[in-house]
């Protein structure tokens, strides 16, 4: 029996004859991904041609580099992590109140898979000026300087505990510690993360501890746009349709967040300034502005949402601002029915909301959803009454009590229906279900939120008649109307969630007729109806096969409107 040369950090594929080839290769690659020390998966020269073929395909689906290369024994297939063009996996952040004077920030990451943390640097500003550095040893343990180990509350109000998978940072006397910045890098790719823990004191009762929240700044990118440009809605004059993405010629600033919907566009630059272009509302009419401009007043924002002739944003202070048309209470400002500038929502139906930091917001036809750092879900506008099953107008935000047993992490408004993801990664759906876009085939209207049978959901996108979600493992699920290919794979409707086999995804965006997936490889994949160019693949017509959007560099985020799309690209 020939001896196998042991190569450091390399796994050798072993496909048995009695195994299903695709399943066997998938198992090999998943085992490879879970091995934090392995950087290469090798298929030897005597590997059967059909095994090689499927290995190439499955590696591509996982966003891995795969290449055939010459060795002394022949041509071997090498799959590698080292050059994976994959987007960094966001850390999971949670806060734990330890007592009224201190709070623990828990940050965890996936060290068992591709990503693991290599170095840590913690800096505090305010009365507690301090800098701590820690590094990961080859054996997987942390090396922390002696002075960091001896930290106590009297020193700098900071206590550090680390493992290979979790960082616990306990902060005391938060009114004195103004800000904590945590920098850490990825073991495989040296990708740097900057996590800022903000602390400040507002109008709290004496028994309350100062408010604390975490932000992980989005990567910045250049603005690309494509699709229908009628009335210069993309902010570019002359050309009517862009079949492939182009860099926006009038925008020099880098953006960290973009959103679009019914011909309107919003963007946030690196300073938090809010840009607007496309369909702009005056009180009596709608006009189209081709040149993006900063919307007054100059407030720093980090989240934005586009609805039907109305808009929402969350400031860095955690407040919600709305503007536009509020005929059905969409602005959440009581009797206010129109505003051309963002106005802060100050009145809620519970006393404590004014002291909570909002973390996500979404809007669509005539309604809003938003959640805060406590996981509470708020709704306003034309919303479903869980008792009657019909829509009721709420002109101020109200807590949705039908999900009170869950803590909400992400929200999405479709046209007449809704989806939210809980902190436990459960997907809840409700609303109109005429095309089974809610994901159940036993009702036409679902008034009370119901969990879908998909595990570990991290993101949901609701459109007009179909819905998509992504799991922590990168699985993409789609359901609802599919006659135009917008569910991928075929041209059939699906009353229940159907897994997209071709792609591993990080995020999904849907509209009425098409779908775009941000793959784990940083590429955009589109399918569905493309007659307005919104697929960005260079040709019109419908396509059920996911095809790469024609952008050379990696994408950071994408927003899909009714007839055009915008994306941020490195």
Q: For 143-183, write each residue's pLDDT tens digit.
A: 655 555 444 434 445 555 555 555 666 655 555 555 566 66
Judging by DSSP bridges, how do beta strands 10-12 and 40-43 pair with one another? Answer: parallel
Q: CA 373 to CA 214: how far, in whole Å?
A: 10
510 and 448 in a common domain: yes
99 and 75 in a common domain: no
DSSP state of 353: G
Provide the pLDDT for residue 406.
Answer: 94
Average pLDDT over residues 118-129: 57
Domain boundary among 215, 230, 256: 215
* pLDDT bucket at 551, cuts 50 / 70 / 90: very high
* CA 83 to mean position of chain CA atoms: 23
Decide if 255 is inside a domain.
Answer: no
Q: CA 91 to CA 93: how far, in whole Å?
A: 6
- Give the count of domains, the chain: 3
Coil/strand/helix, residue 95? strand
Provide the pLDDT for residue 192.
Answer: 52
Decide if 56 is inside a domain.
Answer: yes
57 and 190 in a common domain: no
pLDDT above 90: percentage of residues in the chain:
28
Q: CA 156 to CA 171: how far, in whole Å?
A: 9
Say which CATH number the domain at 176 has: 2.60.40
Mean pLDDT is lowest, of 75-79, 137-141, 230-234, 530-534, for 137-141
Decide if 349 is inside a domain.
Answer: yes
* pLDDT bucket at 329, cuts 50 / 70 / 90: confident
Domain boundary among 189, 215, 241: 215
Phi/psi of residue 210, nearest 5 degrees: -55, 150
45 and 109 in a common domain: no
362 and 459 in a common domain: yes
539 and 438 in a common domain: yes
Decide if 87 is inside a domain.
Answer: no
Please give the residue that has the higher pLDDT: either 80 or 188: 80
Among residues 175, 205, 179, which one has the least CA distance to residue 125? Answer: 179
Q: For 253-267, write each residue's pLDDT tens digit.
A: 788 899 998 888 999
330 and 187 in a common domain: no
111 and 63 in a common domain: no
Exposed / middle / buried, residue 5 (Cβ in 10 Å: 0-12, 13-18, 19+): exposed
195 and 56 in a common domain: no
- The structure tokens 């695709």 sit at 22
Decide if 176 is inside a domain.
Answer: yes
Distances (CA, A) of 37 to 5, 109, 289: 18, 16, 53
Domain boundary among 52, 80, 108: 80
Say which CATH number the domain at 36 has: 3.30.1370.50
Q: CB-side exposure of 7: number of CA atoms within 13 Å?
A: 12
18 and 144 in a common domain: no
Which tokens go with 191? 């990708």
Judging by DSSP bridges, how do beta strands 102-108 and 92-99 pair with one another? Answer: antiparallel
Residues 6+ apart with CB under 8 A from 98: 104, 170
Judging by DSSP bridges, how do beta strands 476-480 and 494-500 pair with one another? Answer: antiparallel
Provide the pLDDT for residue 516.
Answer: 97
Q: For 176-233, write each residue's pLDDT tens digit.
A: 555 566 665 544 444 455 555 555 444 333 334 444 455 555 677 888 989 887 766 6
Decide if 293 is inside a domain.
Answer: no
Among residues 136, 105, 122, which one has the least CA distance to residue 214? Answer: 105
pTM score of the predicted model: 0.70
Average pLDDT, the chain: 76
Answer yes or no: are the C-beta atoms of 345 and 390 closer than 8 Å: no
Answer yes or no: are the C-beta atoms of 366 and 381 closer than 8 Å: yes
Cα dihedral 217/219/223/227 (nearest 10) = -100
DSSP state of 113: S
Decide if 85 is inside a domain.
Answer: no
551 and 412 in a common domain: yes
For 52, the domain range is 10-80
Decide if 57 is inside a domain.
Answer: yes
Provide the pLDDT for residue 215.
Answer: 54
334 and 400 in a common domain: yes
DSSP state of 401: G
Average pLDDT over residues 496-517: 93
């Amino acid at each position: 029996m020939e001896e196998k040369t042991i190569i450091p950090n390399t796994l050798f594929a072993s496909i048995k004859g009695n195994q299903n080839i695709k399943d066997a290769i998938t198992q090999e690659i998943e085992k490879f991904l879970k091995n934090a020390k392995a950087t290469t998966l090798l298929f030897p020269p005597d590997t059967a041609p059909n095994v090689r073929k499927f290995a190439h395909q499955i590696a591509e689906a996982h966003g891995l580099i795969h290449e055939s290369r010459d060795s002394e024994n022949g041509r071997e297939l090498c799959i590698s992590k080292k050059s994976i063009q994959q987007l960094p996996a966001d850390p999971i952040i949670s806060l734990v109140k330890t007592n009224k004077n201190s709070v623990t920030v828990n940050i965890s990451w996936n060290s068992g898979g591709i990503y693991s943390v290599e170095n840590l640097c913690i800096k505090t500003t305010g009365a507690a000026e301090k800098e701590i550095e820690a590094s990961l040893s080859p054996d997987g343990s942390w090396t922390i300087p002696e002075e960091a180990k001896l930290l106590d509350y009297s020193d700098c109000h900071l206590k550090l505990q680390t493992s290979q998978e979790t960082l616990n940072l306990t902060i005391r006397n938060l009114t004195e510690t103004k800000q904590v910045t945590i920098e850490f890098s990825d073991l495989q790719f040296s990708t740097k993360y900057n996590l800022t823990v903000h602390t400040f004191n507002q109008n709290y009762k004496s028994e309350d501890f100062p408010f604390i929240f975490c932000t992980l700044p989005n990567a910045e990118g250049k603005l690309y746009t494509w699709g229908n440009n009628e009335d210069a809605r993309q902010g570019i004059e002359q050309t009517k349709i862009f079949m492939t993405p182009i860099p926006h010629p009038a925008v020099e600033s880098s953006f960290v967040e973009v959103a679009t919907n019914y011909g309107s566009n919003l963007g946030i630059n690196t300073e938090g300034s809010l840009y607007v272009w496309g369909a702009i509302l005056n009180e009596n009419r709608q006009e189209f502005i081709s040149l993006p401009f900063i919307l007054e007043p100059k407030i720093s924002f980090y989240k934005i949402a586009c609805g039907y002739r109305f808009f929402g944003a969350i400031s860095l202070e955690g407040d919600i601002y709305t503007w536009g048309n509020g005929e059905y209470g969409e602005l959440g400002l009581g009797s206010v029915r129109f505003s051309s500038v963002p106005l802060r929502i100050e009145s809620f139906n519970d006393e404590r909301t004014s002291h909570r930091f909002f973390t996500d917001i979404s809007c669509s036809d005539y309604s809003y959803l938003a959640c805060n750092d406590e996981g509470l879900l708020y709704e306003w506008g034309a919303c479903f009454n869980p008792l009657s099953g019909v829509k009721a107008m709420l002109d101020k935000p109200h807590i949705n009590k039908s999900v009170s047993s869950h803590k909400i992490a992400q929200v999405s408004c479709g046209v007449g229906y809704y989806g939210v993801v809980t902190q436990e990664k459960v997907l809840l759906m409700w609303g109109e279900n005429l095309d089974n876009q809610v994901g159940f085939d036993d009702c036409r209207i679902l008034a009370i939120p119901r969990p879908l049978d998909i595990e570990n959901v991290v993101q949901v996108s609701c459109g007009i008649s179909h819905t998509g979600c992504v799991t922590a493992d990168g699985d993409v699920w789609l359901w609802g109307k599919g006659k135009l290919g917008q569910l991928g794979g075929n041209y059939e409707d699906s009353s229940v969630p159907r897994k997209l086999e071709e792609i591993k995804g990080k995020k999904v965006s849907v509209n009425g007729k098409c779908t775009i997936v941000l793959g784990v490889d940083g590429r955009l994949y589109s399918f569905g109806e493309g007659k307005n160019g919104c697929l960005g693949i260079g040709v019109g017509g419908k396509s059920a096969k996911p095809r790469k959007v024609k952008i050379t560099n990696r994408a950071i985020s994408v927003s899909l409107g009714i007839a055009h799309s915008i994306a941020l690209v490195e």
